[in-house]
Amino acid sequence: MGRRTLRRVDPKLDLSRHFKVLEELPASWSPADLFEGTAPLEIDVGCGKGLFIASAAEAIPRHNFLGVEKAKRYAHFSAARIAKRSLPNAVILAGDAERLFGEILQSESVADVHVYFPDPWWKARHKKRRVLNEAFVRNVERVLVPAGRFHFWTDVQEYFDVTCELVAQVTRLEGPLEIAPREAEHDLDYQTHFERRTRLNEQPVYRSEFHKPR
């Protein structure tokens, strides 16, 4: 499924608290610098339009949520979504998640990592571009706290199977644990917009969760 055109963001909306660009941050910055106070940190990789991070940050105010999105226009849109809700515990970072995980995040600093419906890069010659590669998966394990969780959903069974095998081969993460689907209570009661479109089209969603040993 391709990405659809985004609605225009209100230019009067103040995004300074919720929108940051990875390349513009100081070399020694930490995700903790983006939030007020300390709290368990959850990271949404490829946050898209921000449906998950906005809903999760509102539902779990005791946690901080950092969304990472490579496409700057989507990062901007997501930041507008959380700014409208005035969520102090959510920030959107425009930038490369692989760099964030490989160069910036400290070991055992993240409670949960969420990767929902990442680009499958269908063609064989392009699969090396998938975010869930060996180096990234190893870094997911590294940054998770003991008992931390890695959540991965996709509508591509091949990507799901390959990733589950990769996690088993290169990490000590326990899983995959099966995640049962639930009925949506309203039109936006889905994990992401991709899940909504997939389920409304009666297509399967492959869900998994992995835990880091204590």
**Active site positions, annotated:** 119
Retrieve residue 83's tokens: 């700014």
In the block, which residue shows the tokens 């949506």? 184
What are the residues facing 94 on neighbouring strands?
21, 69
Residue 43's nearest CA partner among 25, 30, 26 is 30
Report H helices in the chain. 51-59, 72-84, 97-99, 134-143, 157-170, 193-200
Residue 135's nearest CA partner among 173, 170, 93 is 170
For residues 120 and 126, give the distance between their C-alpha atoms in angstroms, rounded to a whole number.
9
Asked whether 116 and 55 are in contact (CB, 8 A), the reply is no
For residues 187 and 71, give the distance between their C-alpha atoms in angstroms, rounded to a whole number.
25
